[in-house]
Amino acid sequence: MIATRRQFVAGAGGIAAIGLLPAAALARPASIGLAVHDSRIPASRAFARAAAAQGIPLFDVAAGDHAIWRAIGGEFRVRPGQQVIGHTAWSDWVVMRGALAENRLRVRSERKLAGRQTTFAWAMA
């Protein structure tokens, strides 16, 4: 089943992402090059499902910091003009921010999300 933009926004992942992405980005999922999530966190898994339904490539930080650094030359190849969005814990966000900054991406938004586990929704471009 292919989710519509409305379903994406209405879903748990859309709720996390809606505050950090401009409406134009939601209308054009192609402007998002990578969605970073943590499969150990239920809300982050929901975010990943919503992103995957839009055809956005995923990266799971649950593999550990070493996988993030190893992926810098591979999965982090985001085309110019594309964003990387994420829904992760603070420590993973700090590691991702450093890794993506090495690829000349800059923080565009960062928001602490309420919930059972403290997580952050963020975007870099």
φ and ψ of 102, to 5 deg = -65, -20
Contact 91, 122 (CB under 8 A): no
Contact 100, 122 (CB under 8 A): no
* Nearest alpha carbon to residue 37 among 10, 18, 56: 56
Order across the sheet with 58-60: list the strands.
58-60, 32-37, 83-88, 119-124, 107-113
Stronger pLDDT, 122 or 19, i.e. the higher one: 122
Distance between CA atoms of residues 73 and 69, nearest Å: 8
Tokens of 125: 């471009």
Rounding to the nearest 10 degrees, give the CA dihedral for residues 99, 74, 57, 80.
70
Domain definitions of the chain by residue range: 5-75+90-107
- What is the per-residue pLDDT across 20-75, written as a single tens digit (0 to 9) for each? 444 444 555 668 888 999 999 999 999 999 999 988 888 899 877 666 656 655 65
- For residue 90, the tally of other CB atoms under 10 A from its CB is 11
- What is the per-residue pLDDT across 7-24, written as a single tens digit (0 to 9) for each? 444 444 444 444 444 444
